[in-house]
Structures are given as C-alpha cells and as structure tokens.
Amino acid sequence: MSFRMPIRKMATAARQSLKIGLIPADGIGHEVIPAARAAIEAVGSDIPKPEFVDLLAGWEVFTRSGVALPEETVDALKECDCALFGSVSSPSRKVTGYSSPIVALRKKLDLYANIRPVVSVAPTAGEKPDVDLIVVRENTECLYVKQEELTNGEKGKEARATRLITEYASRRIGKMAFELALNRPRKHVTIIHKSNVLSVTDGLFRETVRGVPSLPEVNGRFDDVTIAEQLVDSAVYRLFREPQIYDVMVAPNLYGDIISDAAAALVGSLGLVPSINAGDNFVMGEPVHGSAPDIAGKGIANPIASIRSAALMLRYLKYPQAADRIDKAVDEVIREGKVLTPDLGGNSKTNEVLAEVLKRI
C-alpha cells in the first residue's frame, strides 16, 4: 500500500520524540488501537522515540460523564504531534447532549481531508493490485454540519437538514486530491457529485474542484493531471464493475463516506481499510471500520486497518521507511493467508494477527 504523500505545511524540524495521542473510543477500538501502537513501537529507530498519551472520547465516555469529547482530550491533542482514533458507537437515534466525537475532532483540529486508500494485495509480491485507488473525502461540511430541525406541518412532522458546501472547503480538498494524484503513476482525478439534481451545492463543489488547476497560485503544477467526473450513483455501480478506472476520487463528505465503505468490499473487508484525517498542521489515523459491538471483547477484531492507519499517519509525517516496513509486513501476512481474522475467512485472534505482523516488521 505504499504511496507518496504530498508535501504539507507541517513542521519538518527533526524531532527528538514523537508524541502520539491514543483514543480507542468505543467497541473494538480498545482492541485495535493497542495493535497499532505495537506496530509503531516495532519500527524502532526509523522514527523518533514514540511517546504515547492515552485519551478519552466516545459514547462509552458520554454514558459515564455526559460528555463525548472532553475538553481535556482536545487540549492534550494540541500538544501531540499526531493521533490514532479507534471507533465510535454513535447511536442511530437522537440523544440529547450527544454529538459524535470524531466529527467534532475533525472540526476542532481542522482535519479537513479524510484520505482513504483502498488497495488490494496482489497474490504475488511485485504484481500490480486489482484495486488501487484513493478516496479523498471533504471532512468538515456537507450534511455533517449537523444542522437539523423537526417541525410540525400540515401533513405531520417535517424534518429538514442543512447541507453546506463552500468554495473554500471545496478548493482545499480539491488541492489535496490533485497533490495526491500528482504523486501517483496515473495522475487521474475523478470528481464525484450529484449536480444533475443538487445543481447549487454539488454544482459548486464540482466547479470549484474543476477550477483548481487554473488557480494562479497553482501556476500549472497540475497540468499533467487528467480530470474526470462521475455522478455518485453511477460511481458506486462502476466501482463494483470496473474499479480499475479509478485512481483518486474526490467527494463531498457524505459521498466520500459511502464510496470508501463500498470500496472496502472490493478488497475483502472493512477491517483492511485505513484512513487519516489530515490538515495542514495535524494528522490523525483512523480505521474505516466502526465499533463492531457484535464482536467487541471477543478478541477476533481485525487489527490490520488500524495498523495500516498508523503506517499512513507515519507516511504523512514524512517517515516513509517506517511506513513501508509496516505495510510490507501486513501485505506478507495477507498474501500468506494462514493467520487471518474471521472477517477474512480465517479463525485467528487479533493478537495472533498482530504477532505475525510484528514478526515481519
């Protein structure tokens, strides 16, 4: 899963240590985040000495304290170099006082890009994977601004939600997508939208991202990147039929969430797909999967997505050698196919998969 990340504005001065916030949050987060920590520790001198800070957030914290994201956690993260987030068990019904802590963290830390690579492991080392794409999801607006209201109308209750798309957010997520594409062999960006129906909101997103290569400050940097676009419904269809047509897919918040989860089915499991929440000054790794309450505590959660998220985070922080070692180890375990968790058809435990990865790191 090795690929180059764009050069960011984050500080590049040599660090004596790497301060990493750990937020397991809910469910299997408590099982997979320790695995990601172990993988980071295993790379040794390829990174500065890691210093881990255990932090609280999530539904379980809310049920105990009435607060899903304690201010102490936010303050502590501002003193960290990066972070890893596990998973959250947000209820499907409205609960007074509760709001998703991961959504809040993305906004408070301005982690405007959710970068989700979806790459299949080729049967033989060195072969080209069947699926090799990146979903770049705008992380701060769309329907996730969470502005909803319930009123009484002539025909009963009426529920409305505000969907926010801004030129500012669309431009900077577009720049991120083009930067990523520029560092990939195909140099291809597909803009995902539904502007045939949502002509104002999705229309603004589409036109803004399309205009990124023409920005004066870009100065022709993205001239070699090919631009395509796809309606979100047909994009999902083509994702399953011909995933090889996609390289970098850039989408508003909701579409990006749906597309990346769907793409995970192409590589075998949500338990394999990593992500980072990235901004110009901070990065937080996060496996794409949820809290999986049905298997929480059973010791069979797949740790690979979290381990890969740790690698992706290190790559973003400009430690490619450490990231490559982790990704190569994971690829070997998957390719060998002897030690896999049940979601991949195996019968191994979380700690057994971790042990195999660590052995290869």
Catalytic residue selected from 233, 237, 298, 318: 233
Distance from C-alpha of 60 to C-alpha of 52, rounded to nearest angstrom: 21
- The catalytic position among 132, 194, 247, 327 is 194
Here the tokens at position 13 are 């001065």
| 50 in Cβ contact with 40 (< 8 Å) | yes
> Is 257 a known active-site residue?
yes
- Start-end of H helices in the chain: 29-42, 59-65, 71-77, 101-108, 167-182, 201-210, 232-241, 253-264, 304-316, 320-336, 350-360
- Catalytic pick among 19, 81, 132, 144: 144
- For the question of residue 46 being annotated catalytic, the response is no
Contacts of 209 (CB under 8 A, 6+ apart): 170, 171, 173, 174, 177, 189, 191, 250
194 is a catalytic site residue:
yes
The yes-or-no answer on residue 26 being catalytic is no
Report how far residue 257's alpha carbon sits from residue 267's, in angstroms, rounded to the nearest whole number.
16
Q: Which H/E stretch holds residue 264?
A: helix 253-264
- Please tell me which residue in 81, 257, 331, 343 is annotated as part of the active site: 257
46, 110, 261, 280: the catalytic one is 261
Token pair for residue 158?
A: 């009426």
Distance CA 360, CA 293 (A): 30
Helix (H, G, I), strand (E, B) or coil at 98: coil
Distance in angstroms (rounded) separating the CA atoms of residues 244 and 190: 12
SS3 161: strand
Looking at residue 306, its amino acid is: S
Closest to 226 (Cα-Cα) out of 274, 268, 182, 281: 182
Question: Catalytic amino acids?
Answer: 144, 194, 233, 257, 261
